[in-house]
Each structure stands twice: as C-alpha cells, then as structure tokens.
Amino acid sequence: MPVISFANAKGGAGKTTAALLLATEIADRGKSVTIFDADPQKWISHWADLPGRPGNIDVVSQITPASIVEQISDATHQSDYVIVDLEGTENLVVANALSMSDLVVVPIQGSSMDARGGAKILTLIAKLEKIVKRDINHCVALTRTNAAVTTRALKAVQEFLAVKGIDVLMTPIVERAAYRDLFEFGGGLRGQNPKAVTNLDKAQDNAAMFAAEVLEKVRIEPRRRWYDVFKKAS
Ligand SMILES: Nc1ncnc2c1ncn2[C@@H]1O[C@H](COP(=O)(O)OP(=O)(O)O)[C@@H](O)[C@H]1O
Ligand SMILES: [Mg+2]
C-alpha cells in the first residue's frame, strides 16, 4: 500500500521524529506499518528494541542500494503503509526510495540551512520525476516550531517556500519533549505517562493532526473510483 518517505539532505531536520510519529499514529488506527530505517544513525531500529512497540509496526534495518526497490515493493503487499526514514544526504538509497514513493515529506526546521537541504531534495525529486515519467507527490512539513511564537527565521523559510510554490502542510510539528521521549522510553505517544511528560496531550493532538494531513494526501480510494467509472458508464 502507500509508500511515504521522509527526506531532507540535511541531518537534524526532524525526519526520523516525523517518520516515527506518523508510524505510531497509523498503528493507533489499527493499520499495519513497515518502517524502513535507512538512517545510518538507526534511531528507529533502537526504538524498535525498546518496550512498547505496537505489534503492527515492523522495522526493516538491513537496506542496500541494490535491494531497497524490491524490499519496498514487497512491503507494499504486506503492510497497509510503508514508511521510509532516509539519511540526511543524497545517495542511491535516497533516490531509489524517492522513486518508489507515493508521497515524499520534506521536514524543514525554521532555519535557512534546513531549507537549503530541503531544496536539494526538491531538485532531486524534479530530476527523478523525469526519469520515472510520473509526478512524485511531495510536501514540506515545518518541524520543531515554537508553540508560542513564530520566529523570524521560520517566517523567512515560509516565504522562501511560498515563492517557490511548494506545498507546505498546515500542521507544523511543534517542538515537544514528548517526541524526544519516544526514542528514550519506546512505544507511541498513547503509551507515555501524562504525569511524567509535560504537555503530552498537546503533543498527541499535534501528532494526530500531522498524521491526518499526511494520510489525506495518500488516500487511495480504488473502490470509489471504480464505482464512479461504473456509474458514468451506466
Ligand atoms: N518536534 C520535535 N520536538 C522535539 N525534539 C525534536 C523534534 N524534532 C526533532 N527533534 C530532536 O532533534 C534531533 C534531530 O531530529 P531527527 O528527527 O533525528 O532529525 P533527522 O532524522 O532529520 O536527522 C533529535 O535529537 C530529535 O529528538
Ligand atoms: Mg534521521
């Protein structure tokens, strides 16, 4: 089923965090997910070894440029969703994963360095679209935003993206301790202790809205489409 990749040529943009938030939100909805951990830091593989991993999330850690296309293709037949957490660079694994994606999410922090790393991936997507001869659906997710204020750097990034006509998700991923805690304590946001984690409810709402918006972008309704075709023909 749909393949959603997280890419930005710069490290620290929030790819891995966003990928895990989406995966755990999908799992909460009772759907199965395969996550490909193509980040050499292997944060998602470490997370998978902690307690609390939902049974409907599988993590694949062994990936090579030669195998990733087939691995992703196989996973689409086994899981409801496939999520790929990519390295903060441009290489063959990144290019192959982007080519296989139904949606590429480019996380960008409110800084010009992140925006430049994001722009590199957007340029790569444009090149790959010519090679695979189809549009590769993509959008930017603003990450680590301040819940209280919009900084000057973030405003500059928003303007830069608007000028380029790039689709930006309405829900930014806010800076929340709860998101860091997932990698420390394991499981999803629902499994965290509200007494131990500040603003857990706000983090849960933010993650749920982020996931809903991403999933809306990859919604595939073959039955309805066939129904429409049938209706038109009759
Ligand atoms: N929304 C967020 N709230 C709090 N910390 C975050 C958030 N997004 C990322 N971080 C932290 O920033 C660092 C880099 O994030 P990460 O998701 O690993 O980025 P990337 O995968 O792009 O390198 C990590 O320490 C992570 O815990
Ligand atoms: Mg990462």
The reported pLDDT for the residue numbered 156 is: 86
User: Does ligand 1 come within 6 angstroms of the Cβ of 173?
Assistant: yes
Residue 21 CA to ligand 1 centre (angstroms): 11
| 162-221 pLDDT, tens digit each | 888 899 999 999 999 999 999 999 999 998 999 999 999 999 999 999 999 999 999 854
Following DSSP, what letter does each residue of 30-51 receive, concatenated? T--EEEEE--TT-HHHHHHHST
Q: Give the distance (Å) from ligand 1 centre to CA of residue 75.
A: 26
* pLDDT confidence band for 159 (50 / 70 / 90): confident
Q: Which of 35, 20, 54, 45 is nearest to 182 (CA)?
A: 20
Q: Whose CA is nearest to atom 17 of ligand 1?
A: 14
pLDDT of residue 221: 45
pLDDT band at 222 (very low <50, low <70, confident <90, very high): very low
pLDDT at 224: 46
Helices 177-185 + 15-28 axis angle, to 10 = 80
Which ligand has its closest atom nearest to the C-alpha of 13?
Answer: 1
Q: What is the pLDDT of residues 134-143, one digit of tens each?
A: 999 999 999 9
Question: Residue 7: phi, psi to the nearest 5?
Answer: -140, 140
* Closest ligand 1 atom to 173 CA: 1
Ligand 1, atom nearest to 145 Cα: 1
CA dist 111 and 114 (Å) reads 5
Mean pLDDT value across residues 99-108: 95
> For the chain, what percent of residues have pLDDT higher than 70?
94
Q: Is 191 in the pocket of ligand 1 (CB under 6 A)?
A: no
Contacts of 122 (CB under 8 A, 6+ apart): 106, 138, 164, 166
How far, in Å, is the centroid of ligand 2 from the Cα of 234? 51
Spacing, Cα 176 to ligand 1 middle (Å) = 10
Ordered domains of the chain (ranges, CATH): 3-233 (3.40.50.300)
Contacts with 207 (C-beta within 8 Å, 6 or more apart), sequence order: 21, 24, 25, 173, 179, 189
Q: What is the largest CA-CA distance in the chain?
A: 60
pLDDT-above-90 percentage for the chain: 77
pLDDT exceeds 60 at position 133: yes
- Distance (Å, whole) CA 126 – CA 140: 14
Examine the pLDDT at 67 and tell me if it is beyond 80. yes
Cβ(179) – ligand 1 distance below 6 Å:
yes
Q: What's the rounded mean pLDDT across residues 73-84?
A: 97
Q: For position 35, what pLDDT does the model report?
A: 98
> How many A from CA of 214 to the centre of ligand 2?
18
pLDDT reported for residue 116: 85
- Burial class of residue 116, CB neighbours in 10 A (0-12, 13-18, 19+): middle
